[in-house]
Amino acid sequence: MKTYLQFINGEFVPSLSAKTRDVINPATSEILGQVPESQPEDVDAAVKAARVAFDTGPWSTSTAVDRQNLLLKLAQAMRDNFEKLVVLEVQDCGKPRREAEFDVDDAASCFEFYAGLATKIHGETMNVPANSFSYVVREPIGVCAQIVPWNYPLLMSVWKLAPALAAGNTVVLKPSEVTPLTALELAKLAAEVGFPKGVINIVTGDGPVAGNALVNHPDIDKIAFTGGTETGKRIGATAATNLKKCSLELGGKNPVIVFEDAPMDLALDWGLFAAFANSGQVCTAGSRFLIQESIYDQFVEQFVAGAQNIRVGDGLKDDTTMGPLVSKNHLNKVEEYVKIGKSTAKLALGGDRPKGMDQGFFLNPTIFIDVDPKSRIAAEEIFGPVVVLIKFKDEEEAIKLANDTSYGLGYGIFSNDVTRTHRVMSKIKAGIGWVNFYHPTFNEMPWGGYKQSGTGRELGLYGIESYLEVKQININLDQQPEGWYPK
């Protein structure tokens, strides 16, 4: 069996406790290998390494061009190891090959994007009412704790690493214990292309132990977290207690509004992708469809027919278009929601496991119709291939239903009326919107939510700002003393 090691201070090392954990392929239940069960003492060693690298190591005197070059080399190394990363990601988290290929390519592009921005960080000079040369500089924050979930293990890691490193910070990253393999592979590539020791550290323990030790560590300057809203609230409270900078990318229960004038081909194609990409385990998954009543029956019929074409299976098989859920625990959690749905709404498709595939954590695409917007399956984030369809009368009701949620992450609108789409978009309280498509994510655009979907933004210029401190500097140009305390 393959043994993986955590990456601390430029070396792959076991946990000081020697504890390990199995990593499971969710499509086959096979053990892919063992990773260290990182403990607080491992986290401490990783933070110390990152501290030294930031304060006195080569990173502290690196130039923006040095960082740009390293990020570009890392992106190229990912492209050179494309197939290896794709297969590892599919085996580790179960997504179909086509989606994993997109992730690896997008992750490399994210490094390239932030490599470009590394050399564009600049300050400003200000006119102040004194004879002072006054200017503002942006500086890296320091040692960043980065915690990412299991649904996009590689991509979420890169969304965090790329802006932090471009800005000159050092990091300790904790992938989910369920899917640590591609982050470790990335660390290997980073070491090969020449990142100095201590700049990138990866610990592989679980949330309550290693994650908790990381966010509570006194030498951490910033916490960046992506995950569930409840965990995010706890981490935000810890950050507030210790006055750490903190950004939180959390969950969503994202509405997709289909108006009667929608381009139906696009609404069906992108609508199915909104609901079932990555088996619905996407923070922005279109999980709450709002359909105008005049087209409701027609849409339901075609949406269900489209979902029947989804081929559930091992992501490494060529014809698979939807993989398993990430773990047995998560499958059980999603099935609990299916049970609730069966007792409160009408099941139009799925709700069961595919026949003869008990070796993996598979669930068929599941569609509930005629759903009460106040019911649990319509209000709570299920994070699986389970979608609810709700009928609305007019634009006003659609907006009301769309905003009737504690979340505010993603939303979609399908309509050919450009005036209507602008009008509706301006009223939706959420951070990421798509009109007449769904899910494409751009490194250039800010990512994050309103309300309980988080605080702060990743990606784009916004993403790098969150890894920079702003400092004002004032230089007195007067040679004469002011005479504050005359003799």
Q: Name the residues that contact ligand NDP, by CB under 6 A.
A: 147-151, 174, 176-178, 206-208, 211-212, 215, 226-228, 231, 234-235, 249-252, 283, 381, 383, 409, 449, 454
Nearer to ligand NDP by Cβ, of 99 and 249: the residue is 249
Q: At a CB cut-off of 8 Å and minimum separation 6, what does 268 contact?
A: 299, 302, 303, 306
Sign of the alpha-carbon dihedral angle for 423, 425, 430, 431:
negative
Cα distance from N-terminal residue to C-terminal residue, the chain: 82
10 Å CB burial of residue 3 (0-12, 13-18, 19+) is exposed
Give the other-Cβ count within 10 Å of 241's Cβ.
Answer: 9
CB 283 within 8 A of CB 409: yes
Nearer to ligand NDP by Cβ, of 380 and 397: the residue is 380
Least distance to ligand NDP, CB of residue 87, Å: 22
CB 5 within 8 A of CB 36: yes
Least distance to ligand NDP, CB of residue 28, Å: 21
346 pairs with which residues across the strands?
369
Least distance to ligand NDP, CB of residue 47, Å: 14
CB neighbour burial string for 93-132, b if at least 16 within 10 angstroms, e if fewer: bbbbbebbbbbbbbbbbbbbbbbebbeebeeeeeeeeeee
| Residues designated as active site | 249, 283
Would you call 403 helix, strand, or coil by DSSP?
A: helix
Strands (E), 6-151: 6-8, 11-13, 20-24, 31-36, 124-126, 132-140, 143-147
Least distance to ligand NDP, CB of residue 238, Å: 8
Q: Looking at this protein, which amino acid is placed at residue 13?
A: V
Sign of the alpha-carbon dihedral angle for 63, 169, 283, 373:
negative
Nearer to ligand NDP by Cβ, of 236 and 351: the residue is 236
Nearer to ligand NDP by Cβ, of 228 and 433: the residue is 228
Nearer to ligand NDP by Cβ, of 166 and 325: the residue is 325
Q: DSSP characters for 86-103?
A: HHHHHHHH---HHHHHHH
Nearer to ligand NDP by Cβ, of 168 and 207: the residue is 207
Q: Distance between CA atoms of 41 and 63, rounded to whole angstroms? A: 32
Nearer to ligand NDP by Cβ, of 383 and 392: the residue is 383
Q: Which residue is nearest to ligand NDP (CB)?
A: 207
